[in-house]
Amino acid sequence: MKQLFLLLGLLLMACQPSSKKQTEQALPVTTGITLEEQTPYILGKINRTNLLTYEHSQWFKKEYDAFKINPEWITEMQPLAQGLRYKLFLGTWCEDSQREVPGMLKILDALGMKNSDIVMYATDEDKKTPDQYELGLNITNIPTLIFYKGEEELNRIVELPVETLYKDFAAILTNKPYQHAYFIEVETP
């Protein structure tokens, strides 16, 4: 009789839908330590799991959970974000990244972006990665979130929003004139 109850219990548990969202495995990363403050950090191509599991990234979950989503804004912008891809350069050691990246990712999540739509790279203090993912992309400050349609860069948010994350995202998604905080117009001869 005990075996029957045990078998029945196992069957019921196996048939229940899983409430846990499948998470991706953390990517292998290199680590370093900042020169001035001796702060540990991760380097290289990363994913969300790296941010959630790296022992010195407790800031990510706390700030992500605290960032408030505006449902009306999401409904309005969601169709405009479809088909876009993103590259995000950040530093787990960087206060600007710790402040801005959780909100950026929470907005992208709310817009329905999949993990495969967002490629992330953790840099050192010189904004470099071991495999030089930053080459040719003019990464001067972090975080830098680059918006792509196909292979074409639409625009980018650099280090901090010019107004707010919502307003800066909206300007880029609606193709309104937008210049990031460090934009310098280059004169052509």
> Looking at per-residue confidence, does 19 or 160 come out higher?
160
Query: Model confidence over 79-106: pLDDT tens digits?
Result: 999 999 999 999 999 999 999 999 999 9
The yes-or-no verdict on residue 188 having pLDDT over 90 is no
Q: The pTM is what?
A: 0.82
State the fold for domain 34-173. Answer: Glutaredoxin (3.40.30)
177: Cα separation from own chain's centroid: 24
pLDDT recorded at residue 185: 62
Taking alpha carbons only, the member of 133, 143, 154, 21 closest to residue 83 is 154
Cα distances from 100 to residues 1, 12, 29, in angstroms, run: 58, 44, 22
Mean pLDDT value across the chain: 84
Average pLDDT, stretch 52-81?
92
Please report, for the chain, the start and end positions of each structural domain, with discontinuous segments joined by +: 34-173
